[in-house]
Homo-oligomer: A and B are copies of this chain.
Amino acid sequence: MPLRSVAPPSFADDSSAPDGSASTLYRQIAGLYEQAIVSGSLAPGMRLPSVRELCQRHGVSLTTALQVWRHLEERGYAEARERVGYFVRRPAQAALLPAVREPELHEPLQPDPRLFAGINERISVFLEKARRAGPGVLDLGSAMPAPSLFDAAALNRLAIGLLREQPDVLVYGPSAPTTHVEFQQAMARHALGFGLSLAPDHIGATHGNSEAVNLALDAVAEPGDVIAVESPTFFGILQAIEVRGLRALEIPCSPRTGISLEALELAARNEPRLKAVVVVPHLQMPLGSVMPDSHKERLVALCTEHGLALIEDDIYREFVESPQPLRPAKAWDRPGTEGQVIYCASLSKSFAPGLRQGWMSAGRWHARVQMLKFARTRNMQSWSQLLAARSVGSPAYERHLRRMRVQLREQREAAARAIARYFPPGTRLSLPPGGISLWMELPPGLSSTRLYDQALARGIRVAPGPMFSNTGRYERFLRMSCGMPFTEQVETGYRTLGELLSQQLTPASGRPSAGKRA
């Protein structure tokens, strides 16, 4: 959609000019408001500026300002209400409301090279299609727990308490260092609870886990360098690698024990530009594997030996169903060194998605990460850091997590049952020991890319296998989200997906056959 920018109106003060010469001026100003009304930024019923305000805003005479509103009145965009002022008129037809996105949905997406250069094109196309489909879609693709799984009431009480206790919290500009000391202390205590000892002043707040991983990549590699990733892996990591001119090296990953250490060692010996490894040790995305402690130990040793940064993305740790907390690989960082592991985590998945509160501890790259962070997004909200600091690790937080794990298990199991019921025979799936998604393999002949398009046209979003790799290896794979309660609507969604897949197996038919419906 092209930018609807307009001709620059020359708002020179016309007060000294004869009013006749201002005839194009009032049209120009009226044009601005007309456009705002058509685009929806001024909604029907909204009050327009007074004539006096209009004079001030645009430096025009009273006469010109009056002409602006009269012109808009004549064209049906404004109406005067006596002694009150001018208002945006309700349009005669709904066509004037903000653009409806549906018609774009079926248009072929022509990737603009300017748009995607240096960004992973395949992933971008999937994301762009989803964006165009708009927010009305049933999202069975995103790995995010539904709002109902969080304890919003407790968080809001805490938030209101904080606003009363620290009335300046929203207007206080946090000065250097960029991270709030209370947040650093709280995250250090939190980490201790799962066996990881961190220096508080080496903990940095970030915009979600995503900024943390991006900063880690910025700190350890430069364009042309190689980054080892798990295969399949979270598409965000592939994007982040490609955006900065790095190359991703996909290392096979086991659904039970995570990244293949043998393959990684081979890569470390043979790829001189290999600079770092990115792993999700707990509930690897999308496989759901949980790395055994012995693997973590070997992985850290391997990275230390070869001088590779180990970027540990630990965003799903708290979703693992385990009798005792799992220790991150960073717990094996060799003592006496400054730390080879860059630990990245976030409270977005487990505590409050709306805060976007991530954090990291970058080992020997700490000072560099801090400087890069400052150059890029500067300081962080105290607000969000304090809410996190005062919640994480509290008894209420632990209760919330226990409840959430139970609910997610039920949702995973319900989704697995629906897949067993509606998806074509031969679909393979293994239940991970926790988390918010399922990864499955479809029978031969099926395409998750095709399913993505077909499902989106029916108002359902999924995450097709090819989003999780550059190798083209996962065309028959699919990630389904189990983040939302398994409602009737979700069940209907799974049934529709099953039907679409069955149609793929009967190429002649555009609709499900009578036999399939029975």
Q: If the complex has contacts A8-B331, A131-B176, A163-B159, are A171 and B142 also in contact, measured as CB distance less than 8 A?
A: no
Distance, CA A58 to CA B338, complexed state (A): 24
Beta-carbon contact of A42 and B189 below 8 Å: yes
Q: Mark A189-215, 1 if CB is under 8 A from B, else 0.
A: 100111101111110000110110010
Q: Does A263 contact B (CB under 8 A)?
A: no
Query: Which of A43, A171, A174, A335 has the most CB atoms of chain B within a 10 A radius of its CB?
Result: A171
Q: Mark A33-67, 1 if CB is under 8 A from B, else 0.
A: 10110011111000001000000111100000000
A334 contacts which chain B residues (CB < 8 A)?
Answer: 5
Q: Does A222 contact B (CB under 8 A)?
A: yes
Beta-carbon contact of B210 and A377 below 8 Å: yes
Query: Which of A239, A323, A356 has the most CB atoms of chain B within a 10 A radius of its CB?
Result: A356
Beta-carbon contact of A147 and B124 below 8 Å: no
Beta-carbon contact of B297 and A8 below 8 Å: yes
Q: Does A135 contact B (CB under 8 A)?
A: yes
Distance, CA A390 to CA B331, complexed state (A): 45
Q: Does A167 contact B (CB under 8 A)?
A: yes
Distance, CA A383 to CA B365, complexed state (A): 32
Q: Mark A5-35, 1 if CB is under 8 A from B, else 0.
A: 1111111000000000000000000011101
Contact of A352 among B3, B130, B170, B208 (CB under 8 A): B170
Distance, CA A155 to CA B292, complexed state (A): 49
Beta-carbon contact of A376 and B243 below 8 Å: yes
Number of chain A residues close to chain B: CB under 8 A? 139
A76 contacts which chain B residues (CB < 8 A)?
Answer: none
Q: Does A169 contact B (CB under 8 A)?
A: yes
Distance, CA A35 to CA B59, complexed state (A): 65
Distance, CA A153 to CA B334, complexed state (A): 50
Q: Which 4 A-B pairs have the closest CB atoms?
A: A173-B353, A41-B188, A150-B171, A8-B332
Distance, CA A8 to CA B35, complexed state (A): 63
Q: Does A97 contact B (CB under 8 A)?
A: no
Distance, CA A404 to CA B221, complexed state (A): 44
Cβ of A147 to closest chain B Cβ, rounded Å: 5
Beta-carbon contact of B32 and A377 below 8 Å: no
Beta-carbon contact of B147 and A156 below 8 Å: no
30 contacts between A and B (CB under 8 A): A3-B198, A3-B333, A3-B363, A3-B366, A4-B199, A5-B197, A5-B330, A5-B334, A6-B197, A7-B335, A31-B197, A36-B189, A41-B188, A41-B192, A41-B198, A42-B189, A58-B324, A119-B368, A127-B371, A135-B175, A142-B175, A147-B171, A152-B170, A156-B167, A172-B353, A207-B377, A240-B375, A240-B376, A354-B382, A377-B377
Q: Does A339 contact B (CB under 8 A)?
A: yes
